[in-house]
Amino acid sequence: MLLKAFFLLSALSHGAFSTSSGSNSDKVVTSNSRGVKGAAYLISNEADGNYVIASNIGSDGKLTVARAVYAGGAGAHGNDNGPVGTDPFFSQGSVQVSHSNNILATVNAGSNTVSIFKINPENPSELSLHGKPVNSGGDFPISVAFNKQGDTLCVLNGGQNNGINCYRIDPFFGLVPKSNTKRSLGLPRTNPPSGPPGSLSQIIFSEDDRYVVVSVKGNTAPGFLAVWDVYAGGSLSQEYTKISTKAGGMLPFSLTVIPGADALLGTDPAIGYETWDLSNVQKAANSSRTTAVAVPGQQAHCWSTYSYKTGNYYLVDAGANSVTEISLDNSLKGTVVKQYPQQANSATLDPAVASINGNDYLYVLLARALSIQVLALQGPGQATSLQTLDFGDALQKAGLHIDAVNLTGMATYVRA
């Protein structure tokens, strides 16, 4: 069943188009910022030039394609265990936003670099490169994470030289390597890495910034979380603490903070999802709050996000092309609230939530359809389809080369 799910994911035909991208300059579709409340971002991840694709979010939660901004490097695709398919990094978090300092960060996997951009708060689709792209400190960077203050960024490298590396965000120079934060996982991986099984997944800070956490998928043995302590001044522990999966868990994928619980929720395409207790990392594997939970009918739950309005979690299944809404009680025991089928064969991937005028909206990348699905989260169990934005035609006319198998990431920014 596990391999079947991944072959289903890998076998999705890419349904792509190609155009000449010309020079690596920004591709502007619209500069109109009237009524714009925020923006949604993903990356093109092309080998001939990686671009951040930005769409404006209106007051009604709907999207309008705005521009594509050159990220300063090249994209790349991992080696699929099967036909080349969507989900090029086998990960979540390739694009992230810090509202604390109006910064967007992304990876350039083909260049082994990380870039950050200043977000224009008045027109959030306008991005300006802050400093220069910097070396990721390893091979094939796939995921980035900001701390709560937005003054530190950490990157996860998933290739042969795998592990993490962190930077401070300098107001003048951009990313500056942070001392005593480069840490190796030392796992036997290749360049580019193979996956999804056996690949690395996501890096995230715990809610209180006490830990940096990485999810590692299993292959012949179950996967695990690698957890580093964050010390005063921002340095990291030399070694990581390994938190094993509970029975049934195999492929820890995405990681989402469970607010106020000192815990994380993660997807696992081998079973459904997991919860991870971080209140005592040394004993977390044996905690009753660390679980592996089966979701009926799931094929490849790989991505997740959270809505503060509904208080629920939304898991994206690329195999079934669906979104599953999960609620957790105070003991982190989960319940499937509702499942929402999406466009068939669309390769549903990365999600993100934005809160606009007291309403929450869920944005899901439909890679094969070159689209973003927008769902209005009107309340628990009440997600409704609001819009399917086809960004492919607009960017094609602007001269951007896109291949659906390389598209990845989803992050949102909302104006204060």
How many Cβ atoms from other residues are within 10 Å of residue 229's Cβ?
15
Q: Each residue of 155-186: pLDDT tens digit?
A: 999 999 999 999 999 999 999 999 999 999 99
Q: Each residue of 6-24: pLDDT tens digit?
A: 444 444 433 333 333 446 8
Hey, what are 181's tokens? 């934060």
User: Which distant-in-sequence residues (6+ apart) come within 8 Å of 144 by Cβ?
Assistant: 93, 94, 95, 96, 105, 106, 107, 114, 153, 154, 155, 156, 203
Does residue 255 surpass a pLDDT of 90?
A: yes
Q: What is the pLDDT of residue 121?
A: 96
Report yes or no: 201 and 254 within 8 Å, Cβ to Cβ: yes
Mean pLDDT of 294-301: 96
Q: What is the pLDDT of residue 321?
A: 97
Q: What is the pLDDT of residue 4?
A: 45
Give me the DSSP letters along 82-118: SS--S-SSS-S-SEEEETTTTEEEEEETTTTEEEEEE
Q: What is the pLDDT of residue 396?
A: 93
Report yes or no: 336 and 324 within 8 Å, Cβ to Cβ: yes
Average per-residue pLDDT for the chain: 94
Mean pLDDT of 201-229: 98
Report yes or no: 193 and 159 within 8 Å, Cβ to Cβ: yes
Q: Each residue of 86-137: pLDDT tens digit?
A: 999 999 999 999 999 999 999 999 999 999 999 999 999 999 999 999 999 9
Q: What is the β-pairing status of strands 79-80 and 194-195?
A: parallel
Q: Which amino acid belongs to residue 364?
A: V
Of 59-63, 382-386, 399-403, 405-409, the poorest mean pLDDT is in 399-403
Dist CA 31 CA 75 (whole Å)? 26
Q: What is the pLDDT of residue 228?
A: 98
Domain of residue 66: give its range: 2-414
Burial code (b: 16+ CB inside 10 Å, e: under 16) for 291-325 equals bbbebeebbbbbbbbbbeebebbbbbbbbbbbbbb
Mean pLDDT of 221-238: 97
pLDDT class of 5 with cuts at 50, 70, 90:
very low
- Indicate which CATH number applies to the domain containing 245: 2.130.10.10
Dist CA 395 CA 416 (whole Å)? 28
Q: Which amino acid belongs to residue 88?
A: P
Dist CA 243 CA 204 (whole Å)? 15
Sheet holding 27-28, edge to edge: 27-28, 63-70, 51-58, 36-43, 408-414
pTM: 0.95
Dist CA 325 CA 308 (whole Å)? 13
Which carries the bigger pLDDT value, residue 248 or residue 6? 248
Q: Each residue of 301-354: pLDDT tens digit?
A: 999 999 999 999 999 999 999 999 999 999 999 999 999 999 999 999 999 999
Q: Each residue of 23-67: pLDDT tens digit?
A: 688 999 998 888 999 999 999 999 999 999 999 999 999 999 999
Dist CA 57 CA 55 (whole Å)? 7
Report yes or no: 30 and 58 within 8 Å, Cβ to Cβ: no
Tally of domains within the chain: 1
